[in-house]
Chain A
Amino acid sequence: MGKKNLFGLASLVVVLLVVPHLLGNPYYLGVLVWCGIYGLVCMGLSLFMGYCGQISLGHAGFCALGAYISGILTTRFGFSPWPALGVAMLASLLVAFVVGLPTLRLKGHYLAMATLGFGMIIFVAAGGDPFGLTGGPSGFWGIPKLSVFGVVLDSEVKWYYFVWAVVLVCLVALLNIVHSRVGRALRSIHGGEPAAKAMGVHTARYKTQTFLLSAALGSLAGSFYAHYVGFVNPHPFGLNFSIHLLTMVVVGGMTNLWGAIAGTALLTILTRYFRVFMDWGVFFDGFILVIIMLVFPEGLFVGAARRLGGFVSRKRSTGVPGQASRQAAGGG
């Protein structure tokens, strides 16, 4: 991990520590809890999409698996939250393995189709309630609070610190992966699969492993969701949510973990502060996806920095035009 990332992490910690003192209303803090929960999913998705060049249209399904399994085990089978979370994650890994193993060996976007189907199945199963466990379309209440080292997470403030601590740990781990032999292998798959194979990179295995990792993060976020809200129903876990997750990753810039977090925060805050984004969610997601892909394919932040950098160097008329863009694109 380079100096840039260490500086980024330090800045993020400072911001995270300062922000709660500036926000008077716990509702605002709650929005940031959502940023953290979605951020977990989006980091994994960013690694998978940006580095393996694959698209998942079913990550809402992994969130649903996490939320429902955590909820069902704790309310109906007397599990305590952490073991339930572990079981949920194992189940998600298993499902991801079954979905990913055959499709990730093929060329093309078979995984996108398979995950699309998987997401639908989970959504329909949760609503249809074939085993009398999910509470059907109206869901169920009474999921217990999560406690960490004896502290019950019963307020927005506590959730805020907890979720972002987890995000930070995951971010450090994923940044380490990206800046390692594994990260290079993943980037080589994105850069050119035939050459990656010729260098001995087992491309199918790396894609599968990254997909499993992203599914585990999705399940984790789903479990947190269940314990945070205390209630689950199928509605939030439809195809719309999978697409919303994609949009957040794309806005931040697919090949950039920082971008995944920034994109998630930006869209989550917009959605929660302006009702119109909530009511017209699918419309905005589609609109944003098209604009970003056309104007800033490398993501809003890097793209904007490049534009700005290009503008500044043109104004100075001394700088090399390409220089700023290369430096701006080098981050992450």
Chain B
Amino acid sequence: MDNILRVESLRKNFGGVVALDGLTFEVQKGAIKSIIGPNGAGKTTLFNIISGMYRPSSGGVWFLGESITGSPPYVTAKRGISRTFQNLQLFANMTVRENVMVGRHCRTKTGFLRSALRLPGAAKEEKRTAAEAMDILRFVGLEESAQRGASTLPFGKQRVVEMARALATDPKLLLLDEPASGLNLRETEEIGRLIQKIRDTGKTIIVVEHDMSLVMAISEEVLVLDHGRRIAEGPPRSIQKHPEVLRVYLGEEIPHAQSPES
């Protein structure tokens, strides 16, 4: 079994609006797969369904061979799917390290009673969680900012904190929703390197992204959506020349169009 995720005939309607229209695709284990498409193509809806935020109208999602269709997020997180958000969703009321520690939530287990009584096991787990959060911050290069309030960091760093927090859940599959949006050229390159570094630790990554230079640079495979349907899929180079993709992005070519001079 090579695929880690299989999405089959996935449909999602919001009232009369069809966000996903019978989408089918697979993601290979250990790959970076990018999903591109115009606004409203259904990319974020797809993430919301895979991570369990929405239930699909029909169709299914299989993760590591088991159906996770309609599983709530606290189940999918525990199974090994984590995500970031297009519009940053950091916990502004916490430090950077605490944000990452929340990511450890699904891998730890101290409950109300054990934490109220501060039993030895609870204190030990808390210490370990803090240490693990620091390890992850070191991995993404943010250990210096650990004690700062999450909202006091520059925007580019906040994106990295979101990735660190998602990594803290120990995911097998990481969903990144527009990781480069709002970043400058240098920051985009850095985030690209970080994504590849994460993949090199054995994780599978799906990236929804508009920045084509980033998509072309890091992905093994690209899936192009339009109106909730797959219009192309393949390695980045073949996608660049795909006629359907050009039509969706650039518009239809008018036959026999003439330039004004001639």
Contacts and interface: CB of A to CB of B under 8 A. Distances in A.
Interface in B155-209: 165-166, 168-169
B134 interface: no
Contacts of B108: 181
Nearest to B84: A198
B122 A194 contact: no
Nearest to A213: B112
Interface string A177-206: 100111111011011101111111110000
B118 interface: yes
B146 interface: no
B1 to A, nearest CB: 25
A173 interface: yes
Interface in B90-111: 90-94, 98, 101-106, 108, 110-111
B91 A187 contact: yes
Contact of B74 (A180, A188, A202): A202
Given A176-B116, A200-B169, A191 B74 contact: no
Interface residues of A, number: 29
A71 B92 CA distance: 46
Nearest to A185: B105
A307 interface: no
A133 B59 CA distance: 57
Interface string B103-140: 11110101110011110001001100100000000000
B73 interface: yes
Contacts of A174: 116
A155 to B, nearest CB: 31
Interface residues of B, number: 41
B82 interface: yes
Nearest to A191: B91
B33 to A, nearest CB: 19
A223 interface: no
Nearest to B95: A330
A255 interface: yes
A109 interface: no
A176 B102 contact: no
B93 A199 contact: no
B34 interface: no
B105 A199 contact: yes
Contacts of A196: 91, 102
A209 B103 CA distance: 21
B77 A187 contact: no
A197 B73 contact: yes
5 contacts: A176-B118, A191-B91, A196-B91, A198-B77, A199-B166
Given A176-B115, A326-B149, 9 more contacts: A174-B116, A181-B115, A182-B110, A188-B105, A198-B51, A199-B169, A200-B74, A202-B72, A255-B93
The 10 closest A-B pairs by CB, nearest first: A200-B106, A191-B91, A200-B77, A180-B115, A195-B89, A173-B116, A197-B73, A202-B74, A181-B110, A188-B102
